[in-house]
Structure 1
Amino acid sequence: MSTFALFEDDTDEPVDVDFVTDTHRRRFVALLIDTSQSMATTQTNGMRAIDALNRELERWLPTVRAGGRGPLRDVEFVVITFGATGVSVVSGNRTISAEDGGAFVPASRLEIPPLAAGGATPMVEAVELALSLVEQRRQYVQTIHAQQTGGPRLILVSDGEPTDREGNPTDDWQRLAHRLEQWRATRRMQLFAFGVPGVDDEVMRALATPNGYFPLEDLDLRRLLDLVLVATTDHVDFERVRSHVFGDEIP
């Protein structure tokens, strides 16, 4: 059975998951998507990259929601974009809130509105926001709902290099890389980073470590989102994702 067959949907209506009474270990996944100007100018299969991404998200989201009634039933997503409009939360009620009804949403109810591309690449700010939100959510769920939580998982997708909000190059990623290393040392977080042509490989390796960084040779957005789904599943490790990216080849 393929990885994605686990998420096939054979029901007509979604079944909501009541996370207030659920007794499983809650898992938090932050998906960070680069929506900078390059996504508005890069072409893939005759389409702007951002238009192709929106089309593929429409295909992908029902698969995630189906997984939310099975293998992803314990997963909550927060989706953050960085580029057009700066750093934005686009999941849940689209506010920077880790409380119930805020930015986090169960996989079974994940929605992502059509995304717009433009502006700079404030990647560092986006990752720092994700770290803050997942830590706040972890504390909230443990305190308010008295539930166990697993280590958060960050999935970073980018085709550029970090800038500030005005588009100026920044080396703030070096400070962020040190912070991420501290999180990994306490086994509180995994970072999977997917880089498409145009990305700064040095930065992505520094943030995700060489094991957690997966450079892609082309801008195949359908394959990219399928890889994101692999990285979201429980008990996945870097080698499993690497096998999906490179097959039997060793990069």
Structure 2
Amino acid sequence: MPVGLPEFAENPENRCPVILLLDTSASMAGQPIQELNRGMGLFKEDLLKDTQASLSAEVAIVSFGPVKLLQDFVTVDSFTPPPLTADGVTPMGQAIDYALDLLETRKATYKENGIQYYRPWVFLITDGAPTDNWQRAAQRVREGESQGKFSFFAVAVEGADINTLQQIAPPERPPVTLRGLDFSALFVWLSTSMKRVSSGKIGEAVPLPPVGWGQINT
């Protein structure tokens, strides 16, 4: 199949897509949002050290409070972490739906351009409780995970509604509570994970590094 879009002609590597689904509601103001911004900078810096990962990993950012596409999918060399500001409520259900739709669109683009991809990651970080209807989104997460469409991770910052997150996150991957505001360790873990995935074969299970930055809520 001919490669169509210039981005794929220039870089035909297999893609490893990850959506960062970030809670930027008013409760994240101050140090939490500052540490989150710092962590994203480290994520880019660390991924760029690995040539394969920097060509394969594609990052998109959806923030919520309100729901916005801050960054459409780009490879890491073109990724500049947008400065996050905290405002608004926590429309988590709408944000998850938006992210899953965005992912389906990107997967269709890969297929149209003959690009293979690793199982995508959707990485939710929140410090609150949804202020909208989240049950439909939770059902989509669980169905999509069980069908192998993506891997969904939920990270709870202090103050997050763990009970709701446990109903959204897939049973085989329960939410993780971040230790303090150690976003730096979280994003280095995420970068290391992306490096491992992108160096493996598509469809192959890759052991992830231990979650030293948080407590798993079983």
* TM-score, normalised with respect to structure 1: 0.71
Partner SS for 1:115: coil
Contact 1:76/1:105 (8 A) holds in 2 = yes
Instruction: Give the fraction of aligned pairs with identical amino acids, expressed as a percent.
Output: 29
Change (3 A) 1:149 1:237: closer
Larger Rg: 1
Contact 1:90/1:112 (8 A) holds in 2 = no
Counterpart amino acid of residue 50 in structure 1:
I
1:94-151 deviations in Å (ceiling 9; x for gaps):
xxxxxxxxx21012221122111011011111111111011111111211x1222332
2:95 to 103, 114, 126: 126
Counterpart of 1:178? 139
Counterpart of 1:188? 149
2:79 to 78, 94, 110: 110
Counterpart of 1:31? 20
Contact 1:195/1:215 (8 A) holds in 2 = yes
> Which sections of structure 2, spanning at least 5 residues, go unmatched?
1-5
Change (3 A) 1:73 1:133: same
Counterpart of 1:152? 120
Contact 1:73/1:107 (8 A) holds in 2 = yes
Partner SS for 1:104: strand
Contact 1:155/1:231 (8 A) holds in 2 = no
Counterpart amino acid of residue 75 in structure 1:
A
Of structures 1 and 2, the one with the larger relative CO (CA 8 A, separation 6+) is 2
Contact 1:65/1:109 (8 A) holds in 2 = no
Counterpart of 2:3? none
> Which sections of structure 1, spanning at least 5 residues, go unmatched?
1-16, 42-47, 92-102, 165-171
1:25-49 deviations in Å (ceiling 9; x for gaps):
22221111111111115xxxxxx32
Question: How far apart are 1:243 and its partner, in Å?
Answer: 4.2
1:168-218 deviations in Å (ceiling 9; x for gaps):
xxxx22221211121122211100111111111122222222442212242
1:19 aligns with 2:8: yes
Large movers: runs of 4+ above 4 Å: 235-239
1:89 aligns with 2:69: yes
1:49 to 3, 15, 32: 32
Change (3 A) 1:210 1:243: same
Question: How far apart are 1:52 and its partner, in Å?
Answer: 3.0
Give the aligned length.
Answer: 206
Contact 2:119/2:150 (8 A) holds in 1 = yes
* TM-score, normalised with respect to structure 2: 0.81
Partner SS for 1:20: helix
Counterpart of 1:63? 46
Change (3 A) 1:206 1:227: farther
